[in-house]
Amino acid sequence: MNSLNLNTKILVYSYEESKESIKKLIEEAKLAAKNAYAPYSGFHVGAAILLRNGTIIRGSNQENAAYPSGLCAERVAMYSANATYPDIAVKMIAIAASNKGVFTHQPCCPCGSCRQSILEVENRFDSAIKIIMYGTDHIYEVESIKTLLPLSFDKTSLDL
């Protein structure tokens, strides 16, 4: 029997330690969270995507009384970016969440469906997407969604 060891590298730092480009994207994600439609959970999530051409696309979670018909902020932003700029790769995404008007202390991490969707975009452009997860206590940063989704399912999984 063999074993497979997986290592995960996550940078952890404060907002004050962030580069200006990351602060800017976090602030865009926080603004996006204010546009969330979350009447059921009260959990407002915002995502801001930086494209390779410098364009920033925002998305916010959109809930629906008929669960699971809503959509997460990350996918709203990612699908909007891909629909509007289909030939421009995504460089980075920042995610921020608030509950009852207060941003969460712990970083907001993408759910499984969002991780899978981000992976598809990474593979589509053959380009890693930096993920910035904001919390008021600290920030998590990973260089690729593959860090958060090891042993992932992609188009190669469909091969015989």
- Catalytic (active site) residue 28: no
Q: Is 73 left (phi over 0), alpha (psi -120 to 50) or beta?
A: alpha
Cβ distance 111 to 67 under 8 Å? Answer: no
Q: Which of 28, 63, 74, 141 is catalytic?
A: 74
Helices (H), the chain: 20-33, 73-84, 112-125
Q: Which residues pair with 95 in a beta bridge?
A: 47, 133
Catalytic residue ranges: 74
